[in-house]
């Protein structure tokens, strides 16, 4: 059972030995639904994350996603400072991967993003073509089982990769 550990007066629970309190409230509640599962988090996870900056909440949700979906849509070695959004455009059949470099947002405004790369991306699906929109490059695709793998050589502020399905 996973129970909620209440925030301490001076640090997040995972860094506190003194004043550590475990509540009787559940940390996660799981229900069977049809052929799947529904997990509910009966506490303010986002508020706790922003208030205390606890990276263990991030790890908790990553573990929860792995528990619920054993085959991820996207697997990457990108930095935690890269925001990634995977979208599908039904009218064209294209898939789009948006990558935003957040390194400039963690300091005073006016700072430049720190370029990073290469970034490896494994996307669930069979794709024939991958093109970057900002840099205008075509990326080679390597099939790996149920995934298609591409490597983005570098990321400045932003990049979008469009993927066209095979067949």
Q: Supply the pLDDT for residue 119.
A: 98
What average pLDDT does the chain have?
83
Q: Supply the pLDDT for residue 27.
A: 77
Sequence-distant (≥ 6) Cβ neighbours of residue 133 within 8 angstroms: 159, 160, 161, 162
Tokens of 7: 């925030």
Q: Region 51-62: what's the mean pLDDT?
A: 72
- % the chain with pLDDT above 90: 43
Q: What pLDDT digit, counting tens, does each position of 102-121 carry?
A: 888 765 556 788 899 999 99
- Per-residue pLDDT band for 99 (boundaries 50, 70, 90) equals very high
- % the chain with pLDDT above 70: 80
Q: Across the strands, what pairs with 132? A: 161
Q: Region 115-128: what's the mean pLDDT?
A: 95
**Cα torsion for 71, 47, 32, 122, to the nearest 10°?**
-10
Q: Which of helix, strand or coil describes residue 1?
A: coil
Q: What b/e sequence results for 2-39 when a residue is b if at least 16 CB atoms lie within 10 Å of its CB, and e otherwise?
A: eebbebbeeebbeeeeeeeeeeeeebbeeeeeeeeeee
Q: Supply the pLDDT for residue 45.
A: 75
């Amino acid at each position: 059972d996973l129970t909620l550990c209440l925030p301490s007066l001076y640090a997040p629970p995972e860094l506190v030995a003194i004043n550590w309190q475990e509540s009787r409230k559940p940390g996660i509640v799981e229900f069977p639904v049809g052929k799947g599962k529904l997990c509910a988090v009966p506490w303010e996870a986002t508020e706790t994350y922003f208030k205390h900056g606890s990276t263990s909440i991030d790890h908790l949700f990553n573990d929860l996603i792995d528990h619920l979906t054993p085959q991820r849509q996207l697997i990457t070695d990108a930095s935690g400072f890269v925001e990634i959004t995977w979208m599908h455009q039904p009218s064209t059949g294209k898939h789009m991967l948006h990558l935003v470099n957040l390194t400039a947002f963690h300091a005073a405004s006016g700072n430049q993003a720190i370029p990073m790369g290469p970034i490896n991306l494994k996307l669930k699906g069979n794709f024939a073509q991958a093109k970057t929109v900002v840099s205008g490059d075509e990326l080679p695709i390597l099939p790996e089982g149920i995934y298609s793998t591409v490597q983005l050589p570098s990321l400045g502020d932003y990049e979008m990769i469009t993927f066209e399905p095979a067949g």
